[in-house]
Structure 1
Amino acid sequence: MKSDTGPNLPHPADDEIQLAKVLFALSDPGRLELVRQLQEAPLEAARCHLTDPEIPKSTKSHQMKVLREAGVIRNEPHGRGRLLSLRREALERRFPGLLEAVLGAL
């Protein structure tokens, strides 16, 4: 029987987060916008938006996947939707000051 919350998606362990993948994930303006939205608090995936409302849902899903697989965000079941959160502590432990430098440069 399928759960209402959907499947658990794989996330890299904190010590498996790689700098090259994080930098690649943060290099795209759309993905960077999603990270900016998660700075203050986790958000339901449906509430996160890309800068261009004409961008297809499949593109938004891909952007979230790249961020998740790089270890920048967590994407976990939450009720009938999904909750996105920034992995700020893990990124700070692995690469001190990186996230603040990137987000502060905007």
Structure 2
Amino acid sequence: MPANQALPHPAMKDVELTEVLFALSDPARLQIVHDLADGPLQMAQCGATNPALPKSTKSHLMKVLREAGVIRNEPQARGRLVSLRREELDEAFPGLLDSVLNAPKA
């Protein structure tokens, strides 16, 4: 998919808690959410920065998070800007992200 093509994002009214929890249940996806907690990043900069990780795997991780309503992945110049849908998630599921982001790492 070209970097300048818009991707579909679910409306928050259509986001289900079970899908958000599933998206956050994977350690690699959770790391991406932690990476985005301080603000948007270029896709190349965020999450799963293990150089051995195939691009297809990273794309899949991002797709699961986007389709669950956890992140936005939008075109910016020749790349993609990825951001956490923090305000929307906090409104839909108060305290969820704070609990997840502040949980002790296993």
Give the TM-score normalised by the residue count of structure 2: 0.92
State whether residues 12 and 69 of structure 1, in contact with CA within 8 Å, keep that contact through their aligned partners in structure 2: yes
Q: For residue 91 of structure 1, what is the aligned residue in structure 2?
A: 89
Structure 2 residue runs of 5 or longer lacking an equivalent are none
SS in 2 for 1:36: helix
Match of 1:55 among 53, 56, 59: 53
1:5–1:60 distance in 2 versus 1, CA, 3 Å: closer
Give 1:27 shift: 0.2
Give 1:6 shift: 2.1
Q: For residue 28 of structure 1, what is the aligned residue in structure 2?
A: 26
Match of 1:19 among 17, 20, 24: 17
Q: For residue 75 of structure 2, what is the aligned residue in structure 1?
A: 77
- Counterpart AA for 2:58: K
User: When the two structures are aligned, how many residues end up with a matched partner?
Assistant: 103
State whether residues 33 and 51 of structure 1, in contact with CA within 8 Å, keep that contact through their aligned partners in structure 2: no
Match of 1:105 among 90, 103, 106: 103
SS in 2 for 1:40: coil
Measure the CA separation in 2 of the matches of 1:65 and 1:45: 12
Give the TM-score normalised by the residue count of structure 1: 0.92
Measure the CA separation in 2 of the matches of 1:5 and 1:21: 26
Measure the CA separation in 2 of the matches of 1:49 and 1:17: 22
Measure the CA separation in 2 of the matches of 1:5 and 1:50: 19
Match of 1:44 among 36, 42, 48: 42
Structure 1 residue runs of 5 or longer lacking an equivalent are none
Measure the CA separation in 1 of the matches of 2:12 and 2:88: 6
State whether residues 73 and 86 of structure 1, in contact with CA within 8 Å, keep that contact through their aligned partners in structure 2: yes
Give 1:68 shift: 0.2
State whether residues 29 and 47 of structure 2, in contact with CA within 8 Å, keep that contact through their aligned partners in structure 1: no
